[in-house]
Structure 1
Amino acid sequence: MIPQPLRRSIDALAERLGRSSAALNEQVQKFDSEHPWFLSSEERGNPDTRIEAWTEGNRVTPLVHGKPYFAALAAALDEAGEGDLVMFTDWRGDPEQLLTDDVTVEDALAGVAGRGGIVKGMVWRSHIETLGFTGPKNRKLALRLEEAGGEVILDQRVLVLGSHHQKFVVIRYRDPAKSDVAFVGGIDLARARRDDADHFGDPVSRPFPPEYGEIPAWHDMQVQLEGPTVRDIENVFRERWEDPAALSRLPWHAIPDILRGVTREPSVLPAQHDEPDVAGTCAVQLVRTYPRRRPAYPFATRGERSAARAYAKVLRRARRLIYVEDQYLWSVDVARVFAAALRRSPDLRLVIVVPKHLDDDSSLTIPSALLGHSAALDVIRDAGSDRVLVLDLENDRGIPVYVHSKVCIVDDVWAAVGSDNFNRRSWTHDSELTAAIVDEERDLRAPTDPGGLGDGARVFARDLRLELAREHLGRAPGDDEDLVDPGSFFDAVSSSATRLDEWHRAPSTSPRPTGRLRRHEIDVPPQWQQRLAAVAYRLFVDPDGRPIGMRFRRRF
């Protein structure tokens, strides 16, 4: 923060020079930017929150795919009992989903309550089932856990057609010898998520477009966090839980809830424990999205768009490589941020991994989503040309893998894993939570400072990029010497995709090459369909939760 004498000097100087308050605020913001990669409290733009700007001394463990995440979560829940506190949020929850071969989501959470633990959950109420949403399943999870002694609320405190999209779990143990833990990312406690690196899919599946086969393969990611950041993630939960607004003001929600005995008014949470001790070498910043709502969120009275602001700040610093995995890269507003980075840095390269096909077959959303996706990629490709690779993923049997992960790694320094997609809905409209990570430990493999700004390369970000690259390229552990340097990484990925694309054009001439990445192609809807889809896109598929003035200024 700016020392008070210096702040007073700036104020006095501004007054003498007759600067506008906007210019003064910009100057103050520059002084307050205490970290080159993280947002300051002022840059976050939300003075109402209780979470810290960032925390240091955290251990962060990447859990690539649902099977490793669910196994880690089951083990952590199995340790919880008398007096321990478990808090979770979800977009979709299926009580029958397996965490391990013989433990379901319901078993694990009800087991904590049965051992005397305190279980609190917030699951998005969801829109009606006829629109393809999962309200009845979410209600079923809530009722099952209520019967077991937990407390789960169906939370519809969102904008019209909005959702609560955060997916995290926090476990605070009463025993100080146990390490408190949190899990943050893109994986719901839901069907189809328990896949692994082989990508044969989750036997506990769900209806899905036929292009993905009978049991859809699913690529996703979560991170396990220990250390001071756990208390911040807990505060994200507490802020939402303590929101005094009605869980839903719609009578067709309230009356069935009353008849079924669903919780309508959350109870008071137990007193909060002290901040966990230092556990590792990672600094973690939590970035979020909340729209501007009426009645206002008490913890974000003007909304919060720190996820969007974090990417805008970080991408201004990008020099060599941005690596992205995302379910929905389909907003021009988001694409402009990446395009600006590519124009700013002529040596910068961008690798994007997205799903080959959408996750539904709706005649309303498919043309709209394809329209937005195509326009966004055009903006990025116009800026970066051959410095941009847009790819999708298949398994070794040639069946597409649904990419649900939300990951971004910049210059092997800053990494982000969370729930927010690269679209306007996630950056402005729905609730989101992402963990941005900068490891204090330097990676000494060459190039030791890929961005050339003195930041070095960091162990967590580089190791995560290499782990994902080895999987997608069909490499064995340790087979990554040509992947460390951003330039040779880009070339290796491009060559692998080219070989696989060529093999698909003439598959009988040779064995299938290793690797799972293919160049991403889009079937753009015809012109007449685009005109109809444009309205649906803006209203339903990718709505904007910003105040009107921000929309016109294209600011987040």
Structure 2
Amino acid sequence: MKKLIVRVFHKKQDEKIVRKIEEKGSKGVFVREKPVFCMPRNGNRVKGLIDGEEAMKEIGESIDQAKESIYITDWRIDPEIILIRRGVHWLKGKTLKEILEKKGEEGVSIKIIIYESPFFMDVVKGEKKRNILEEKEKIECYCHKWMMGYSQHEKTVIVDHKIGFLGGIDLAQGRWDTRRHFIEADIKEKGEEIFKEECYNTMINKEEKQEKIRLPWHDIHCKIEGEAVNDIERNFIEKWNKICKVEERIIKQKEGRKEIIGTMSVQIVRSNSKEAGGRYKVERGCYEGIVRIIERAEHYIYIEEQFFISNYGSKRIWNLISFIIGNKIIEAYRKKEKFKVIIVVPLWSEGELESIIVKSIMELFRKTIISGKLSLIQRMKKEGIKDIEEYLKILTLYTFGKKKQEGKEVIVGSPIYVHSKCIIVDDQYVFIGSANINDRSLIGERDSEIGAIIVDSNKIQISINGERKFVNEFALNLRSRIWAEHLNLEESQIKMVEDPIKSIEKVICPISEKNTKVYERLFEYFPSNKYPKFVDCKKHLYPPLIGDKKELKDIKGHFIKFPIGFGKEEKASLGVGKVMVE
């Protein structure tokens, strides 16, 4: 029996609570002990959706085909977002508002939960969005009011009790992007602009808008069909009934699908409290689900996360995700087994580089990874692991393109913003959700989150480190597609990344290493370890090309090494924004 001591923070008692999660190998990957939102459901069909273009097309089509009901929750929602922008399509150019209005006129019941925060002055306020959406009788909206340390962070769409979407993608401006992640805001396809004025987000100021440049956005979502959709819908109903008027409550949930339509077992897990509409005082299903799949890793752990803030020896931060990953690395080292961990995070969090909150998040990430006394790398070093990168790679995504400057086009580099909340282990287990790796998302009494643990019973035999093994088809396909995008591989080349261990060693590591060196050589003020203090924040965001542009052909895809020393001397007062970021 393994005992994992998990410390959490209880806001009412304001004290530490020690909670034991006892796991036996026979219990499997799913969370079955109370308080648990629901049991795993078998026989589902799941489709992984990479980036906004793919996800919003599926969401738009499903909404347009609705006959009975459409339920939406988002951290941020923009009624004017265009969901489908390329190719020949009956919804091309239609806004979310237009599609919903049409369904409302057809008699479809539409309910939307909007989160309202006072911190986003650059976007339409929640109440105004509510008024825009409620112009039509059949569209009902309620706002989750802002509270310190809490947000309604879920991103779900449920259509006709049969189709559910969840993951990291809000139906909001700036989230629609293609797998190529262009930085040019005015780029055209067949004479038509695919990125409109709305493509800018809070990293971009008015000056950058004039320069016709955008911040690329990478994200992961999923579409679920089957019995698990009932659980996604029940989550919505609990939230809706908590904040709506008594007479507007959904009294009885309509029965959805129960038949077997696919090969996947799916468990819907939440970070939730009774105050946010839950049945239990607190649910930590996202945390426990992530712990369970990481605990089962034998070959590799692949993580894409917007935030990665975990206990590094601090009394303030309670989640132990980093500690558990460290245990797996140390276990493999002691057994002399090959084991790989890749963590992909954004170069810095959304916001301006000068912001105290952005600086605080950068410092907390550094402490989690390398500088805290119980950080991931410090624990590895204490164990005697000399070659850290043999086990652990911290990466980010980067690209280059053109911007307008004084009437001319100049080539600049740009981060690709990683907003995903996805974990893939051994091509066996997948977690996709809205939960970041930080206490805000994981302890259950702060941000409300939703996620899915996905295990496919359809097996495929592949080579892992040269040995033939059976893996789950969904996990294999999702991981392969993600890596193919980041390496700029065509569909015909996807076999190059079939073996995860050899792909990491022979493809991802050398390419990310080479890409990093090329960017450092060619671009002035490229964010790197040579800048422990920021020199020019605007040029760090979009560093100009100063080398020979012919050498840009040496850059393959988007992976680069994360510059852990970038800005390390830019100390921030963690007290100012700790509730906001930890």
Check whether the contact 1:208–1:216 (CA below 8 A) recurs between aligned residues. Answer: no
State the shift of 1:273 in Å: 2.5
Whole-angstrom distance in 2 between the partners of 1:54 and 1:190 = 30
Is the aligned partner of 1:221 residue 2:220? Answer: yes
Check whether the contact 1:320–1:450 (CA below 8 A) recurs between aligned residues. Answer: no
Compare 215-224 and 511-520 and name the one that shifted more: 511-520
Residues 182-233 of structure 1 deviation map (CA, whole Å, 9 limit, x = unaligned): 1111100100111010112643223433599821111112101101111111
Match of 1:484 in 2: 498
Match of 2:323 in 1: 336
Match of 2:203 in 1: 209
Residues 413-438 of structure 1 deviation map (CA, whole Å, 9 limit, x = unaligned): 00111111111111122000111100
Whole-angstrom distance in 2 between the partners of 1:206 and 1:164 = 23
1:406–1:26 CA distance, 2 compared to 1 (3 A): closer
Match of 1:98 in 2: 82
**476, 480, 503: which one aligns with 2:518:** 503
State the shift of 1:288 in Å: 1.2
Whole-angstrom distance in 1 between the partners of 2:324 and 2:346 = 21
**513, 516, 522: which one aligns with 2:555:** 513
Whole-angstrom distance in 2 between the partners of 1:188 and 1:122 = 12
1:223 alignment partner AA: C
Compare 296-305 and 280-289 and name the one that shifted more: 296-305
Whole-angstrom distance in 1 between the partners of 2:426 and 2:229 = 26
1:123–1:466 CA distance, 2 compared to 1 (3 A): same
State the shift of 1:523 in Å: 4.7
Whole-angstrom distance in 2 between the partners of 1:70 and 1:270 = 30
Whole-angstrom distance in 1 between the partners of 2:567 and 2:180 = 33
Is the aligned partner of 1:38 residue 2:30? Answer: yes
**176, 180, 198: which one aligns with 1:194:** 176
1:355-374 map, 5 Å: 355-361=346-352, 363-374=355-366
Check whether the contact 1:184–1:223 (CA below 8 A) recurs between aligned residues. Answer: yes
State the shift of 1:319 in Å: 1.3
Q: What's the secondary structure of 2:223's corresponding residue?
A: strand
Check whether the contact 1:142–1:153 (CA below 8 A) recurs between aligned residues. Answer: yes
Aligned residues: 474
Gaps of 5+ in 2: 1-18, 86-92, 184-194, 312-318, 381-387, 402-412, 523-547
1:30–1:67 CA distance, 2 compared to 1 (3 A): closer
Is the aligned partner of 1:306 residue 2:285? Answer: yes
2:376 alignment partner AA: I
1:533-548 map, 5 Å: 533-542=573-582
Q: What's the secondary structure of 1:283's corresponding residue?
A: strand
Q: What's the secondary structure of 1:68's corresponding residue?
A: helix
Whole-angstrom distance in 1 between the partners of 2:218 and 2:247 = 34
1:267–1:375 CA distance, 2 compared to 1 (3 A): same
1:25-424 map, 5 Å: 35-40=27-32, 42=33, 45-46=34-35, 49=37, 52-81=38-67, 84-101=68-85, 102-126=93-117, 128=118, 131-132=119-120, 136-149=124-137, 150-156=139-145, 160-172=148-160, 180-200=162-182, 202-203=195-196, 204-209=198-203, 214-243=213-242, 247=243, 267-269=248-250, 271-276=252-257, 277-291=259-273, 296-297=275-276, 299-332=278-311, 333=319, 334-346=321-333, 347-361=338-352, 363-378=355-370, 379-383=375-379, 385-386=388-389, 387-395=391-399, 397=401, 398-424=413-439
Check whether the contact 2:53–2:176 (CA below 8 A) recurs between aligned residues. Answer: yes
Match of 2:453 in 1: 436
Whole-angstrom distance in 2 between the partners of 1:26 and 1:324 = 25
Whole-angstrom distance in 1 between the partners of 2:147 and 2:35 = 19
Q: Which has the higher strand share?
A: 2
Q: Percent identity?
A: 25
Q: Which has the higher helix share?
A: 1
Check whether the contact 2:348–2:362 (CA below 8 A) recurs between aligned residues. Answer: no
State the shift of 1:109 in Å: 1.7
1:138 alignment partner AA: G
Q: What's the secondary structure of 1:100's corresponding residue?
A: coil
Whole-angstrom distance in 2 between the partners of 1:230 and 1:430 = 22
Whole-angstrom distance in 1 between the partners of 2:173 and 2:234 = 28
1:160–1:208 CA distance, 2 compared to 1 (3 A): closer
Normalization by structure 1: what TM-score? 0.79
Q: Cα RMSD between the aligned structures?
A: 2.8
